[in-house]
Amino acid sequence: MLRSMYSGISGLRNFQTKLDVIGNNIANVNTYGFKKGRVIFKDLISQTVAGAAAGNENRGGVNPKQVGLGSQIAAIDTMHTNGSTQFTGNTLDLAIAGDGFFIVGNSEGEDLLYTRAGNFYMDQDGYIVDGEGRFLQGADGPIQVDLEASSMSISEDGTVTAVINNVPEDVGIIQMAKFPNPGGLEKVGSNLYQRTANSGEPSEGEPQLEGRGKIASGFLEMSNVDLSEEFTEMIVAQRGFQANTRIITTSDEILQELVNLKR
């Protein structure tokens, strides 16, 4: 069979994956804290028809002759650039200006996961939780606000202050995590990430320290998906997919001609 046909098939698979990633990006264009994906290609392998030869006193050197056999996926990156911030005015809507992730887990401070989505809420016991009930972690575990508090505020350094009987009281400090390689984190759904062997150990602590960003209360970080960029990449992927189908069609026509040699 013709090598070009298998090269075209590999291209179809790869551009389909690229379209899958683009579709997921567009689907999450309004998802708080979402980080877009990017597909990187690389060539598969090259078959050497003739090797290179060094020159001598009578003749110059000769370059190798190689035929490429297709492409493959080199990486599917998660782009951790900051998204734009949207003002909401809700105290428990938090955005991170800079690097870092919010830490959520169970009531014992275990099973920790990480997120950039800062839409938090207060449960019936006064704990600050995410939309699925995971506890926002503070310096001393989950942060709990007295139910008798008349108001509360959250400062840039993560300090949660509640006003009880007209007296302000600090009830906890929000902790953040910064990873050596955030691109190595694994998405587990619901705007959450978990550590992997290549993400490195997180540097956990208060905002604005050791490279961690500051917290903006009353704001939410939007998705970093750029629709104009995604639509452009979609056109590139579509044309690349069409070009690879044309390679397969042309290879099939050549094979048909070969079959027709014997009538």
Concatenating the DSSP letter of every residue in 12-40 gives HHHHHHHHHHHHHHHHTTT-TT---EEEE
- pLDDT computed for residue 162 by the predictor: 94
- pLDDT computed for residue 56 by the predictor: 87
- pLDDT computed for residue 263 by the predictor: 66
Structure token digits, residue 94: 């938090």
Q: Nearest-CA neighbor of 179 among 78, 84, 107? A: 78
Q: 138-186 pLDDT, tens per residue?
A: 988 899 999 988 899 999 999 999 999 889 999 999 999 999 999 999 9
Q: Are 160 and 154 in contact (CB under 8 A)?
A: yes
How far, in Å, CA of 16 to CA of 22, rounded?
10
Q: What are the phi and psi torsion angles at 53 (to 5°)?
A: -135, 140
How far, in Å, CA of 189 to CA of 193, rounded?
8
- pLDDT computed for residue 114 by the predictor: 97
Q: How many CB atoms lie within 10 A of CB 137?
A: 23
SS (H, E, C) 160-211: EEEEECCEEEEEEEECEEECCCHHHCEEEECCEEECCCCCCCCEEECCCCCC
- Write out residues in the chain with pLDDT < 70, as ranges: 1, 263
Query: 153-175: buried (b, 16+ CB within 10 Å) or exposed (e) per residue?
Result: ebbeebbbbbebeeeeeebbbbb
How far, in Å, CA of 157 to CA of 97, rounded?
11
**Quick check: pTM over 0.85?**
yes
- pLDDT computed for residue 5 by the predictor: 87
Coil vs helix vs strand at 182? helix
Q: Nearest-CA neighbor of 188 among 93, 102, 114? A: 114
- pLDDT computed for residue 1 by the predictor: 59
Angle among Cα 186, 73, 245 to the nearest 5 degrees reads 135
H/E segment holding residue 135: strand 135-138
Q: Are 120 and 130 in contact (CB under 8 A)?
A: yes
Coil vs helix vs strand at 242? helix
Coil vs helix vs strand at 237? helix
How far, in Å, CA of 219 to CA of 262, rounded?
73
Per-domain residue ranges of the chain: 3-51+60-80+225-260, 85-221
How far, in Å, CA of 252 to CA of 2, rounded?
9
Q: Nearest-CA neighbor of 27 among 196, 230, 192, 217? A: 230
